[in-house]
Amino acid sequence: MKKILLVAFIFIACISIVNAQLSPGSNFNLTDSLLAVNNTQDNAKKIDILFNVAKKFAFSQGDTAIKYLKLAEDIAIKSKNERSLFKVYFGISVTYNQTLGNYPLGLHFATEQLKLGKKLNLPDSVMKDAYSLALRY
């Protein structure tokens, strides 16, 4: 009887851990985040908020994550914020690759990130992650 209870406890604990990792988060409020994007004039802040929203969905709902990352990409391009665009390309690449399994698009955005990093002359410590990601494909 003790073994059955122990196995049941371990099973429930594992299910709870997996569920917690795949859920968007209990303290996360999408409406508040989107209102914050709408209420600020600072494009860098908008991009950061949208990037953080996308991270909440990146490994559970890839299409939703891409939707918010593409909004961040549009803002970064229109505002000519290339440093933020570098970060957004990373998020898009990882989501396409790891969550959605769309390796060609993942590779496309990884290489765009590399090109942008070279253009910005980013330090090797930052570029190392981008090179690593592109080489995985």
Print the domain residue range for 121. 26-136
CATH number for the domain harbouring residue 131: 1.25.40.10
Can you give the pLDDT at residue 38? 92
Q: How many domains does the chain have?
A: 1
Q: Would residue 102 count as lying in a domain?
A: yes
pTM here?
A: 0.74
Alpha helix (H) ranges present in 1-137? 2-22, 30-39, 43-57, 62-78, 82-94, 103-120, 124-136
CA distances from 45 to 24, 31, 33, 72 (A): 21, 16, 11, 10
The tens digit of pLDDT for each residue in 1-60 reads 655 654 445 656 445 554 554 454 457 788 888 888 999 999 999 999 999 999 999 888
Q: Would residue 114 count as lying in a domain?
A: yes
Can you give the pLDDT at residue 100? 93
The tens digit of pLDDT for each residue in 73-108 reads 999 999 999 999 999 999 999 899 889 999 899 889
CA distances from 70 to 3, 47, 64, 131 (A): 50, 10, 10, 22
Q: Would residue 93 count as lying in a domain?
A: yes
